[in-house]
Structures are given as C-alpha cells and as structure tokens.
Amino acid sequence: MGQILRALIVEDSEDDTELLVLELEQQGYDPIYERVDTAKAMQAALDRATWDVIICDYSMPQFSAPAALALLQSRGLDIPFIIVSGTIGEDIAVAAMKAGAHDYLIKGNLVRLVPAIARELREAQERQARRAAQQALRENEERFRSLIENALDLIVVLAIDGTIQYTSPSSKTLFGYEPEAIAATNIFKYLHPEDISHVRQTFQNVIAQPGVTATAEFRCHHQDGSWRLLEASGKHFVEPSGTTRIIVNARDSTERRQAEEMRKALETEKELSELRSRFYSMMSHEFRSPLTAIQMTAQLMRDHSQAFEVNKQKECFQRILNATKRLGHLVDDVLVIGKAESGKFQVAPVPLDLSAFCQELITEFQLTSGKEHQIVFSYEGDGSDVAIDEEILRHVLSNLLANAIKYSPANTKIQFELQQKRDVAIIQVQDQGMGIPPEDLPHLFEPFHRASNVDRIPGTGLGLAIAKKFTELQGGIITATSELGVGTNFIVTLPLQAQL
C-alpha cells in the first residue's frame, strides 16, 4: 500500500484525470481523489473534505486555474496548488505562479509531478508548523500582555540609564501617573532623594549581573504629592536587538508597612501593659510585705515595749532592719534595671583573675546564704588575667548563685563551671532544684516575670532581667535550660579581651 494522498483534481477530461491518477499510483501514492470542473463543484469539494493537494488544468470550458486559485485563496486555505496543463505560454505560467500556484507541469511530461507534490506537501507542512508556532507565540504574548496590563503590581521596563521604556497601566492606580505621561522620563526623578543612592547601587548590580534578581525598597513620588513605599525586584534582560534592559516589578508596600508598624506598636503597647501589671503585682507583694512587717513591729513596740525584754526588743529592731534592707534591695534593683535599660551604664573593664574571682564569690556564698548547699567549682583554662568589669560580673553571677540556692532544696549540689578559652569565657551555674516550667522559659529574662511554680518563695523577677542586661553590656549572652523537678542550668558566655 502506498502513501494516501487526498487529491482534488480540477479537470474537465476524465482521461487526463485517469492518467494523472495512474502516474501518482505508479510513483507510490494511493490517491483518494475527486474530479471537479466547475467553481461550484470545487467549492462543494472543499466544504466536504480536506485535501492534501489540488491538481488543476489550466483551462476548462467552465472553469480555469486562475479562478480555481482565487477560489482557494478566498477561503484562506493553504493547500499546494499545482497546475498541470497542455502547453501554456511561459508568461501565463509565471503569472499563475505569481498569483500563488505552487508549480506548473506540462501534461505530456509528468515526471516532475510526484517530486513536486512531495516537495509541496513538505513545504505546506512546514508552513503549517510555522503558523502554529506563530499562533502559539501570539497567544502567549497576548496572555502575558493581558497579565501585565491587568496586574496590580507595577511593571516597568527601563533602559540602563533609568529611562522608562514601558510602564504597565497600574502606574495610574499606584502613582496617579498615566503610563504615557511618564514614558521616556527617568525613573530616578520619581524617587525620594534619600533613597536614590541605594537604589542606584542596586540598579548597577542588576546591570552588572545578568540573571540575578535584586530587590530594593524605596519611596516613590505620587502625583498627589505624597510618597509611596515600594517594594521592587529588578532583573537584567537583553532584547532580541541586543539592547540591555532592566525589568522591574514593584508593589506598593505603604499600607503593609503601616499595618506592620501598627501591629508592632500594639504589641509594644501590650508588652508594656503586661509589664505594668507584673510590676503592680510585684509591688503589691514585695513592697507591701516588708512595709507590713515594719508597721506591725513598730506598732507592737509602741504599745508593748515596756513589757519586752532586751532580746525581744532587739529581735523587733532586727525585723525592721531586715524589712528595710529588703526594701532597699528592691529599690536598688528597680533603679538598676531602669538605668541599664536607658543605656546609662558604663562598662569599666579591669584586669581580673577570673578563676580566683569566681572562687571568692563562691566562698562568700557558702559562708552566708549557701550554707545548706554544696557549691562545686570546676575550672578549665590557662589562668591568664582577662579584662572584665568586676562589678557587673559580680552582679550577674551573684544573681545566678542566689537563685540556684533559693530555688533548690537544702543539701543538693550546685555546680559552678568556668571554662576560660582564649577569647571567650563560658560560665555555667547548674542546680538540682525545682526547675522552670517550659512555658515560662521564653519569658524568664523579662523584668518582673516570675515562673508559675515559685509559690511563696520571695522574689521580684528583676534579677535575671538585670543579669541579661549586664551580660549584654559586655557583649555576652545568657541562656537557660531547665527541667521541672530535675534542675536548671544557666550559661553565661562572655567574649574576653586580653588583659588591658
């Protein structure tokens, strides 16, 4: 079986048609054909079926090749049209080719017929493929154009000097400018003077690095005189002509930024109000209990002092002194945190033997508040002096030790580990105490925050906030890990300068 060929033969002679068909069959085709010899019949054949080729006699009693060709063209069909005729003049043949016929052959010499059909089929196929590709391209372009034209974002194409080559219609909604009004002007003209330099820098980076998408945020002028905050990303691309362009996609982030600022302000406000409420609850307890103690002891002494023995009197005075001391500490802590938060603290590093300093501090604690605990010190390092603010460090470590003692039962161990490396000191204070509930851990260093399990253990929630501020003043960090009922570990990491 040969290759099927659907051929419409426009020919008045049946014999000639048979000859043609024979020729096609001999050359390997399996033609499905129809013979027509009038315009009406050709029209009907074109309506009824699709054809691979039209083979047309030049002149017929009721029809002609030019008329058939015109009919074909009027229908916008691209079917190879080959004239096979008795002798026709060269000028007529040329005119027919010019009119759109694909080839012409003489009836007596049909050797070229099959190669001509094969060539024309191939070319018609190529034309068809090209048309499909162009159509797809057009549709694609149309799709992108419509995306760009309807995008809420602003799309701008710039020359490398910043001249606007194209702006999407959203320039009107975003900046009040019609695209035509700003076409061919320079984009930098619309930028806030303070933003020009960093945008220029980004712009140069984009030009220098094809393929890299750079982003920038800047203020842009609105036609109504206001400034709008834009978030933009830009990319370098080369047009088919070889010209470099920058394509920028920008969106108005003014409202998003305002909403963000509002959210932050609300959060700060919320934090402040939480802080205030923690402060008041701390005040009411921590200030009130020593005040009540003072008031009650003083009343007792006023009303019954004659009846008191000396020892009882001394005890009363001591109680008053303890309460005032506690109040004094409290006031100090509040003042310290206020000062540290306002950045008024000056760090004054002095040469210090860190290991000896820690051991002395531990001894002080063992002799006073830490009598019921065993504080185990370990040291790793070369023992060289470092430059550190002694007072600040004392404050931080005292607080950690005092807490370890306060929040762990008597007769438990407290590990105090110091690792001194060349440029960093890591100090760990680890106890075997009550631990901290996981939900309190993130808030531990906030002023006045006390964990939910402190029960009646006295405290203000200020010590760790101060310790954190002080550690940070020296460029260090403080962290805590804890497990309920197992213990807590505080780690202070301090950068070290060599001795001054």
Residues of this chain that bind ligand ADP (CB under 6 A): 399, 403-404, 407, 431, 433-436, 444, 450-451, 454, 459-465, 488
> Nearer Cβ to ligand ADP, position 31 or 463?
463
| C-beta of 230 vs 323, nearer to ligand ADP | 323
Q: How far is the CB of 367 from ligand ADP (least distance, A)?
A: 20
Q: Return d(Cα 357, Cα 416) in angstroms, integer.
A: 12
Minimum distance between the CB of residue 327 and ligand ADP, rounded to whole angstroms? 14
First CA to last CA across the chain, in angstroms?
102
- β-pairing, 29-36 vs 3-10, is parallel
Indicate the residue among 375 and 451 with the shorter CB distance to ligand ADP. 451
In angstroms, what is the minimal distance from the CB of 490 to ligand ADP? Answer: 7
The Cα–Cα gap between 157 and 171 comes to 12
Tell the smallest beta-carbon distance from residue 462 to ligand ADP (Å). Answer: 6
Beta bridge partners of residue 479, listed in sequence order: 491
Smallest gap from Cβ 402 to ligand ADP, in A, equals 7
Chain position whose Cβ is nearest to ligand ADP? 459
Cβ-based nearer residue to ligand ADP, 219 or 450: 450
Element holding 116 (H helix, E strand): helix 113-150
Cα–Cα separations (whole angstroms), residue 231 to 153, 214, 215, 257: 10, 11, 7, 10
> Strands across the sheet with 103-106, in order?
29-36, 3-10, 53-56, 81-85, 103-106
In the complex with ligand ADP, which residue's Cβ is closer, 120 or 333? 333
For 434-462, the DSSP string reads: ----TTTGGGTTSTT---TT-TT----S-
Q: Judged by CB, which is closer to ligand ADP: 172, or 329?
A: 329
Alpha helices (runs of H) in 159-309, residue ranges in sequence order: 170-175, 179-182, 196-208, 254-282, 288-304
The least CB distance from residue 279 to ligand ADP, in Å, is: 13
Residue-wise burial string across 65-96, b where 16 or more C-beta atoms lie within 10 A, e elsewhere = bbbbbebbeeeeeebbbbbbbeebeeebbeeb
Tell me if 206 sits within 8 A of 214, measured CB to CB: yes
Q: Of 167 and 489, which CB lies nearer to ligand ADP in the complex structure? A: 489
Name residue 477's beta-bridge partners: 493
| Smallest distance, ligand ADP to C-beta of residue 410, A | 14
Residue closer to ligand ADP, measured from CB, 382 or 455: 455
d(CA 414, CA 220): 61
| Nearest distance from C-beta of residue 320 to ligand ADP, angstroms | 22
Q: Nearer Cβ to ligand ADP, position 254 or 460?
A: 460
* Distances in whole angstroms, Cα of residue 239 to Cα of each of 11, 159, 187, 236: 52, 11, 20, 10
Q: Minimum distance from CB of 357 to ligand ADP (Å)?
A: 21
Put the strands of the sheet holding 497-498 in their side by side order.
350-352, 386-388, 497-498
